[in-house]
């Protein structure tokens, strides 16, 4: 009997590629503020792969990683 796959909580690679960088940055910031750290990490990673990456995106990625670690708890 096959096991059912659990749906992915992180967007697949390239999921945000149709969005403009400003819209994707807004989405990443909203995810970060809402505590959806995995999604924020995925969005910020996609943004940082662009040639015209902004320094605030790297800061956002660092905040998302810190938030994810903080959620893990002791």
Kindly tell me if the per-residue pLDDT of 74 is higher than 80: no
Q: Mind listing the pLDDT tens digit for each residue in 20-65?
A: 999 999 999 999 999 999 999 999 999 999 888 899 999 999 999 9
* Structural domain spans, the chain: 27-72
Q: Which alpha helices (DSSP H) does 6-74 contain, by range?
A: 21-33, 37-48, 55-72
- Going by pLDDT thresholds of 50, 70 and 90, the confidence category of residue 17 is low
- Measured CA to CA in angstroms, residue 57 lies from 17, 19, 25, 29 at distances of 16, 16, 7, 9
**Tokens 């909580």, residue located:** 9
Q: In the numeric block, which tokens belong to residue 19?
A: 């969005």
Q: Is 15 exposed, middle or buried (0-12, 13-18, 19+ CB in 10 A)?
A: middle
Query: For residue 12, what pLDDT is reported?
Result: 52
- Going by pLDDT thresholds of 50, 70 and 90, the confidence category of residue 14 is low
Query: For residue 73, what pLDDT is reported?
Result: 61
């Amino acid at each position: 009997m096959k096991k059912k796959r659990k749906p992915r909580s992180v967007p697949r690679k390239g999921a945000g590629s149709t969005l403009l960088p400003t819209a994707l940055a807004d989405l990443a910031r909203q995810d970060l503020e809402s505590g959806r750290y995995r999604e924020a990490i995925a969005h910020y990673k996609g943004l940082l792969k662009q040639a015209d990456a902004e320094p605030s995106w790297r800061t956002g990625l660092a905040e998302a990683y810190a938030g994810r670690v903080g959620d893990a708890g002791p």
